[in-house]
Amino acid sequence: MLYFLAQQLFDRVMTLRRRVALLAPFIAILPLAAADAADPPATPSAVVAQAPASAWRTVPAQDLLVMTIEGGKRVVIQLAPQFGPRHVANIRALATAHWWDGTSINRVQDNYVVQWGDATEKKPLPAGLAPTSPVDYVQSLGGMKAKLTPLPYPDPYARATGFIDGWPVAIDGEAAWLPHCYGMIGVGRNMSPDAGTGAELYTVIGQAPRQLDRNIAVVGRIVEGMTALTSLPRGSGELGFYTDAERKLPIISVRLASDLPETERPSFQVMDTGSASFADYLRLRANRKDDFYDRPAGGVDLCNAPVPVRPAP
């Protein structure tokens, strides 16, 4: 459930002794128990745990895609319509048409991507999908500029980076785009200038392949169930595709949360990247100094400061 909380934001303590490893999170949480408001949080996870309700934004149900895979495991994807409007419109149409039901996970390439869609390549697409092209890979920074929280460290792939509306963004002049970070969702495509419809999706499962930025559409991120994908057997075919002798994991259904009965809808909150809590979080992601960390890095890369996400309390 608590993918980002439990696994990415947790106090990242590496220890020889498990007993100490288990103790460490309690040390980090002690200030909470002591309720000493004068002690500022010392770790990113403590910032997240102590962030006030006002620092969180609830994700609209029409931006959540719920994928159920064989065995009943649930993967929840948050869509980013402001960064990929045409692709997101198509993805919503595909979900509403139940297009992914009965498709499968077809590719698991280590340190790269897990990809899913129609392995037969013959399933007709629903009518009315929006045409896409490489112009969709970037969006105009425009009115979003006022909401930018810059990340003040150099990036080898973009002139500037930062966070807008709860998303990591890379920037070059007036162009902004979502980067290929761990857990982000991209749209598979054919050779350029094809830009993909949204029917074939993948998520990043390794070191951020940022060379794909602006060469392919990034349209969202996984907010729950990532480990159901990352722990899958790697495919032995070219590019990590499963061979005929290997088993493609069936996808039972993919639905927009807004199309589910209200009692079955998942609900998530993303930290407001304009909040004081997020500023604290970024500062500590870049400067760990505590019982475990002696030497603060003095910086952090865009994909190593994942925006905190939590199930709505």
User: In the range 125-154, which residues lie near its own copies by CB under 8 A?
Assistant: 134, 137, 153-154
User: In the range 156-215, which residues lie near its own copies by CB under 8 A?
Assistant: 156-157, 181-183, 186, 188-194, 196-197, 199-200, 202, 205-215
Q: CB of 94: closest distance to its own copies in angstroms? A: 13
Among 54, 58, 96, 111, binds its own copies (CB under 8 A): 111
Nearer to its own copies, 27 or 260 (CB): 27
Residue among 173, 22, 204 at smallest CA distance from 111 = 204
Q: Measure CA 144 to chain center.
A: 20
Separation of alpha carbons 78 and 107, rounded Å: 21
Q: Is 10 in the site for its own copies (CB under 8 A)?
A: yes
User: In the range 287-306, which residues lie near its own copies by CB under 8 A?
Assistant: 288, 291-295, 297-301, 303-304
Separation of alpha carbons 102 and 118, rounded Å: 8
Residue among 113, 108, 266 at smallest CA distance from 187 = 113
Nearer to its own copies, 102 or 193 (CB): 193
Among 69, 113, 223, 282, binds its own copies (CB under 8 A): 113
Part in contact with its own copies (CB under 8 A); list of ranges 32-40, 60-68, 69-77, 107-115: 107-115
Residue 80 parent element (H or E): none
Q: CB of 85: closest distance to its own copies in angstroms? A: 20
Residue 92 parent element (H or E): helix 85-96
Q: Is 280 in the site for its own copies (CB under 8 A)?
A: no
The answer to whether the peptide bond before residue 193 is cis (omega within 30 degrees of 0) is yes
Which DSSP letter does residue 115 get? E
Buried-exposed string 281-296: b where 16+ CB fall within 10 A, e elsewhere: bbebbbebebebeeee
Q: CB of 157: closest distance to its own copies in angstroms? A: 5
Separation of alpha carbons 271 and 241, rounded Å: 35
Nearer to its own copies, 198 or 266 (CB): 198
User: In the range 63-102, which residues lie near its own copies by CB under 8 A?
Assistant: none
Q: Is 19 in the site for its own copies (CB under 8 A)?
A: yes
